Amino acid sequence: MSDFDKHRSAGYLANHMARVFAHALAERIRPLGLAPGQFMTLIELWREDGLTQRDLVARLDVEQATMANTLKRMERDGLIARRAHDSDSRARTIHLTEHARALQGPAEAAANAVNAQAMRGMSGAERSDFIRLMTHAIDSLKP
């Protein structure tokens, strides 16, 4: 009846692939007490501490409400602390705890391992095509 084949649909594959990536990452960082959504936030804070929620929203391209909830969980889990902003009393700056700082090495190793596993068997050219084509799709779909 239909010519729609999900195994040839970029959108279906993108969803499926994101789920298996998230699952693989979750397995590896769970022992560290981390969840995948927290990981991306940590990456930005490892790069630069003391960002505001607004900064993180811009860097990670998620909605503000999503980030607010992620930060709430991270605060609950002892990964971040928030301090009053110097010059804007609406904002708070976000700071890694010692514990979160200590996780950088193992967490990045976990992410690198997952990426390596996903691309195992791809040539170097295929790997850069893969990255390039995903970036292309993102740019083409983003409003």
Partner DNA sequence: AGCATATACATAGCTCGCTATTCAAAAGGA
Partner DNA sequence: TCCTTTTGAATAGCGAGCTATGTATATGCT
Secondary element (H or E) of residue 109: helix 104-119
Binding of a second copy by 30 (CB under 8 A)? no
The residues in 63-102 that bind a second copy, with binding defined as CB under 8 A, are none
Asked whether the beta carbons of 96 and 79 are under 8 A apart, the reply is yes
Residue 52 partner contact from DNA, a second copy, none using kind-dependent CB cut-offs of 5 to 8 Å: DNA
Kindly write down the DSSP assignment for every residue of 25-50, as one continuous string: HHHHHGGGT--HHHHHHHHHHHHSSS
H or E segment to which residue 30 belongs: none
Q: Which two tokens stand for residue 35?
A: 């969840």
Q: Where does this chain touch DNA (CB under 7 A) — which range of 59-67, 102-110, 123-131, 134-142?
A: 59-67
Stretch that binds DNA, among 49-57, 109-117, 122-130, 131-139 (CB under 7 A): 49-57
Are 79 and 32 in contact by the 8 Å Cβ rule? The answer is no
d(CA 47, CA 67): 17
| Interface contacts to a second copy, rule CB under 8 A | 1-2, 4, 6-25, 36, 40, 43, 46-47, 61-62, 104, 108, 111-112, 114-115, 117-122, 126-127, 129-131, 133-138, 140-142
| Interface contacts to DNA, rule CB under 7 A | 15, 19, 23, 35-38, 40, 52-54, 62-66, 68-73, 82, 85, 87-92
